[in-house]
Amino acid sequence: MKRIVLTGGGTAGHVTPNIALLPKLKELNYDIHYIGSYEGIERKLIEEFQIPYYGISSGKLRRYFDPKNFTDPFKVVKGFSQARKLMKKLKPDVVFSKGGFVSVPVVLAAGRSKIPVIIHESDMTPGLANKLCIPASYKVCCNFPETLHYLPEEKAVLTGSPIRQELLNGNKLEALKFCNFTANKPVILIIGGSLGSTIVNDAIRLILPELLQKYQVIHLCGKGKIDPALTGTNGYIQFEYIKKELSDLFALADIVISRAGANAICELLALHKPNLLIPLSANASRGDQILNARSLERQGFSLVLEEEALTDRKLLESINKLYEDRYIFMDAMSKSGQTNSIELITNLIEQAVKESGHNTEE
């Protein structure tokens, strides 16, 4: 049986694409193992799939000053030695990494053991973790054509991002029951990224009374970010994080307000959901969400409101405009060509296993 190790974590955006690959990998008869951090979101998300999970020590590699910069290198070194041991023990035929800091020691350890590694970069420009991993990789998958310019030509492959296929089969009625909403009022779904966004949450809660006159609101607000004062408000429901019901919530949503994380926007596009994107500002990141959002805006798929321009009036206006023009956005998205990312990536995985001649047909 062919054996694959998946890795990636830190935020859900580095885990959900791995989850999207699971059904196809199972169909191809892979023995699947996962390496993540001890306590990261990946542990919780992978738990329900009955895949052996190995926690390793993980530290963040920062380019800015933080007291943790003095302790994290030790964690990274420990993580590398744990990953080396796991590679020797598991002897996988191939490793697939969705990125995030925990993936770095895993990829480097696999490289040392001459195990082929395929990495995936979802953002427009490679993040620091993936940059460190590129030399040890066999192929680098990417989501945007623009990213090809930042990658070594012989390794880069434009695959798009794998999307959990169950998201396409949501049930609106189930979601109505789940949220206790009426069918007579439009629904807005708000996703502040996988960890939630305080800025988006505050902005929405400020205009909530006005929003609720016209819409019902499902708010995915992030861990620890529920506002207890709003619990029980008619037409408003908050969740920290939603797993299997997300497909139903998407089916119910007339419009979506979202951060511009790479996976979230791919899902919105695949589902043809009219969306308003509020990208994470360049002060808090390397600015990739702004590039993601502007790329979708240019193609006529999204409305964009940058944090710097975010006021309560502007937000309300943009939401109403999005709702009025929703069919225009849906039409544009329905004409966008979608790649079958799962197929492309699993083909690369199969190719890597074949070329390595590693452990096959045991």
Ligand X SMILES: CC(=O)N[C@H]1[C@@H](OP(=O)(O)OP(=O)(O)OC[C@H]2O[C@@H](n3ccc(=O)[nH]c3=O)[C@H](O)[C@@H]2O)O[C@H](CO)[C@@H](O)[C@@H]1O
Residues in binding site for UDP-N-acetyl-alpha-D-glucosamine: 11-13, 164, 194, 289
Q: Establish if 322 lies at the interface with ligand X (CB under 6 A).
A: no
3-state secondary structure of 36: strand
- The whole-angstrom separation of Cα 262 and Cα 240 is 20
Does position 288 interact with ligand X (CB under 6 A)? The reply is yes
Comparing CA positions, the residue from 243, 223, 218, 246 lying closest to residue 233 is 218
Looking at 11-19, 88-96, 269-277, 347-355, which segment touches ligand X (CB under 6 A)? 11-19
Interface with ligand X (CB under 6 A), residue from 193, 247, 304, 318: 193
Q: Binding to ligand X by residue 341, rule CB under 6 A?
A: no
Q: Supply φ then ψ for residue 139, to 5 degrees.
A: -140, 155
Least distance from C-beta 69 to ligand X, angstroms?
18
Instruction: For residue 283, give the 3-state DSSP assignment.
Output: coil
Q: Return the residues of window 205-224 that contact ligand X according to CB under 6 A.
A: 220
Nearer to ligand X, 46 or 353 (CB): 46
Q: Rule CB under 6 A: say whether 293 interacts with ligand X.
A: no
Q: How far apart are CA 277 and CA 112, in angstroms?
A: 41
Q: Give the Cα separation of 167 and 266 in Å (integer).
A: 12
Based on CB atoms, which residue is closest to ligand X, 178 or 241? 241
% helix / strand / coil in the chain, to the nearest 5? 45, 15, 35
Tokens found for residue 208: 């909530």
| 13 lies in the site for ligand X, by CB under 6 A | yes
User: CB under 8 Å to 209, separation ≥6 — which residues?
Assistant: none
Site for ligand X in 245-264 (CB under 6 A): 246, 261-264
The yes or no reply on residue 194 touching ligand X (CB under 6 A) is yes
CA atoms within 13 A on the CB side of 305: 21
Residue with smaller CB distance to ligand X, 159 or 263: 263
Known binding-site positions: 11-13, 164, 194, 289
CA distance 166 to 244: 9
Are 110 and 95 within 8 A, CB to CB? Answer: yes
Structure tokens at 68: 């943790």
- Give, as one character, the DSSP assignment of residue 56: E
Give the interface size with ligand X as a residue count (CB under 6 A): 22
Of the pair 157, 316, the CB lying nearest ligand X is at 157
Taking residues 143 to 182 in sequence order and writing x for each that binds ligand X by CB under 6 A, - otherwise, the string is ----------------------------------------
Q: Is 82 or 122 the residue whose CB approaches ligand X more closely? A: 122
| SS3 label, residue 184 | coil
Binding mask 266-285 for ligand X (x = CB under 6 A): -x------------x----x
Query: Phi and psi of 33, rounded to 5°?
Result: -125, 155
| For ligand X, the closer CB: 75 or 273 | 273
Answer yes or no whether residue 124 interacts with ligand X by CB under 6 A: no
Tell me which of 12, 218, 257, 303 binds ligand X, using CB under 6 A.
Answer: 12
Indicate which single residue of 82, 97, 137, 289 sits in contact with ligand X (rule: CB under 6 A).
289
Question: How many angstroms separate the CA atoms of 180 and 174, rounded?
Answer: 10
User: How does DSSP classify residue 93?
Assistant: S
**Residue 198 token pair:** 């305080």
From 158, 241, 350, 356, residue interacting with ligand X (rule: CB under 6 A):
241
When computed from its CA atoms, the radius of gyration of the chain, rounded to whole angstroms, is 21
Stretch 32-71 residues interacting with ligand X (CB under 6 A):
none
**What is the binding site for ligand X (CB under 6 A)?**
11-13, 16, 122-123, 191, 193-194, 220, 241-242, 246, 261-264, 267, 280, 285, 288-289
